[in-house]
Each structure stands twice: as structure tokens, then as C-alpha cells.
Amino acid sequence: MTTLRITLLITVILPLYYELCSSRCAPAEFEIDGQCCPMCAPGNHVSSHCTDDTSTTCAPCPESTYIDLPNGLSKCLTCTECDLKRGLRVSKACTRSSDTVCEPLERFFCIDPYKHTCRLAVQHSECRPGQYIKQAGTGSTDTVCADCTADTYSNGSLSSCKPHTKCEALGLTEINPGTQSSDSECGNLPDVTAIAVSVTVTVVIIIITVISVLIIKHFQKKRQSHQSGNGKSQ
């Protein structure tokens, strides 16, 4: 029982006693030159400290400065600037009693959150061709990408992969097969009748050409023979 009391005295009672003794001022006061002075309210700073006869004199924070807690500060804090180069914009403007709240720019997400604001943001990742956006990025999370499965495709900007076009089902022929990043390329089926007509016309043209050449050669040969016979008669 004695050991328990000693342990309780050392671990609980003594630290509490020292804390009470060392903290002379009330929670709403601050100590200056050994004297406890009333704190200023948020949005105000100490203009002059209290004396034995006077209380603390407070003054409003100047423009672009703030203090968000009861305080004994002689100067207000400078408002935070939301830097575009750090991927930030103003979500809530600074007031005398609260600092600026910054948020990520559109298509950016915060990688350095601090209390209710953000100190640094970076751009969302872009999905590659052959991937789809499984989960869109937010102000606090990056984009999540996933690969397309077989017989589907995406250029990287889609929220889901699209199935490849079935050319045969459309009465077309497949010119180029689909990949993970592109659709199938279809074309018209060849017209059998048109091919047959084209072949027939070609054959007829060839026959006519051959016959014409043969006729021309026949007449040329006959003319040469006739001219040769006339020469001998003379």
C-alpha cells in the first residue's frame, strides 16, 4: 500500500503541483515582467501592456495581418499568400481573426495539408493511351489509372475502356485490328460484280488491242509485199 501511494505521488500529484505553482497566470492572461495581464481577443494585438493600475490595451490587426487566438502578442501575423507556382488559389480570404485558406488549383491535388489549408499542390497524373481513368483526381487525391483489358481500348482520357468495333457485324472488313489505345479500322467489302465487270472490260480491251496490232501488222506486211512486186516489174 505504501509503494502505491509513493508511485501515485511521484507520477500524478507532484507534476500537477509543479504545474500549478509554475503557472501563476489565469488561462485568459499572459505573463509580462512578472505580471499577469489580460490577453487580447482574436483579431487584436497588444498595444500596451497592463500595469498595476491599468489593464492591457488592445488594437485591431492591420490589413493583411491576423491573430486567430487570444494572445499577448505585440504584432499580428502576416496573412499567408496562396502561390500559383505552388499550385494554390484562395479558398477563403484572410481576416483579422483568421489566416488565408488555400486550396489546390483545378486539376491539382494537395500534397502538403496543414490544419485547414494546403501549402503545396501538384497536378493530377494523366493516364497513358491504353489506360482508363479508374478514379478521377480530387483536391486531396491523385488520379488512379488502370489498363484496358483485351478487346477494349482507351486514349487515356476515358472513364472506361470501349469495346473494339466488330467490322463483320457491320458488313465491313477489318483493315487494321484494334489495340489497347485505338479502335478497329473498318472498310467496305469488295464488290464481286464490280470486280467481274472490271476484269471483263480489261480482257476486252486487251483483245481489241491485240487484234488491232495484228491487223495493222497484216496491212503493213501486205503493203510491203505490194511495193516489192512493183519494184521487180520495173
For every residue of 30-42, DSSP letters joined together read EEETTEEEEPBPT
DSSP three-state, residue 123: strand
Distance CA 210, CA 195 (A): 23
Give the least confident one: 2-11, 24-33, 137-146, 209-218: 2-11
Task: Choose which CATH entry (2.40.50.100, 2.10.50.10, 1.10.287.130, 3.60.60.10) describes domain 131-184.
Answer: 2.10.50.10
Higher per-residue confidence, 50 vs 228 = 50
CATH homologous superfamily for the domain 81-123: Tumor Necrosis Factor Receptor, subunit A, domain 2 (2.10.50.10)
Q: Rg of the Cα trace of the chain?
A: 47
Residue 14 has pLDDT above 60, yes or no: no
CB neighbour list of residue 175: distance below 8 Å, 6 or more residues apart: 185, 186, 187
Give CATH 2.10.50.10 domain extents, the chain: 26-78, 81-123, 131-184
Residue 35 has pLDDT above 70, yes or no: yes
CATH architecture of 26-78: Ribbon (2.10)
User: Phi first, then psi: what are they for 106, rounded to 5°?
Assistant: -60, 135
For every residue of 50-113, DSSP letters joined together read --SS---EEEEPPTTEE--S-B--SSPEEPPP--GGGTEEEEE--BTTB--EEEEPTTEEESSE
Supply the pLDDT for residue 194: 57
